[in-house]
Structure 1
């Protein structure tokens, strides 16, 4: 299979948009944390405690999503540079590793969405009281 410099360059817009989406999730999460810190309801103490545990886990996962996304972006850039220098084997290898990092980042994102859904269910439980 022939690989040119344009092959990895196709990932640039996708990875950039993905990192933007991850940043938006992080900002939203920090907003939720700030809102939780303002709650004074004693009835909600158990729910807030469960939400905090969920939020800590989600923050760690979002950090992992961002780290693997950035690593994917860096490796994709290095793959383009290697292909630019006509180091085809190295370029293919770096591009392959970049795809693996992107896949890991996406799997982390999927896991975070599942945890987020559980957190929403906890909030619904609070509203049903």
Structure 2
């Protein structure tokens, strides 16, 4: 393995961090909107709060593992550059493991997000049923 192998992971991790940041910003905007909800929306908001809290934690851990992966990847390149190939291999392997953990957490967050959308859809159905 040469120095370009871990370097190939850099753009992927950077894009992943950008995607995670966008998810966090979207979630923050949603929470702010829910905080200003009308009194008749309180049951819907209350139903979403546990999922929102869990999603915030998951996104924090997703970002943490992605940053650790990025750091380990950089250290792997440094180790290879300094002719410590064995250390570089281990660091690169750890980088891939932490990246995989980040991706699994991302999948869990997506599942929770879709469940939250189901709560909103059920509320819409309830409201439409009352009017129709």
TM-score norm. by structure 2 comes to 0.93
Gaps of at least 5 residues in structure 1 are: none
Q: Report how far residue 126 of structure 1 moved.
A: 1.4
In the alignment, does 2:68 pair up with 1:71?
yes
Cα shift readout 1:22-54 (whole Å, capped 9, x = no counterpart): 000000000000110111233x32221121111
In the alignment, does 2:38 pair up with 1:54?
no
State the match for 2:21 in structure 1.
23
State the match for 2:10 in structure 1.
12
State the match for 2:84 in structure 1.
87
Cα shift readout 1:59-106 (whole Å, capped 9, x = no counterpart): 000000000000000000000000000100000000000000000000
TM-score norm. by structure 1 comes to 0.95
Give me the CA root mean square deviation.
0.7
Following TM superposition, where does structure 1 have runs of at least 4 consecutive aligned residues deviating by more than 3 angstroms? none
Gaps of at least 5 residues in structure 2 are: 127-132
In the alignment, does 2:107 pair up with 1:100?
no
State the match for 1:35 in structure 2.
33
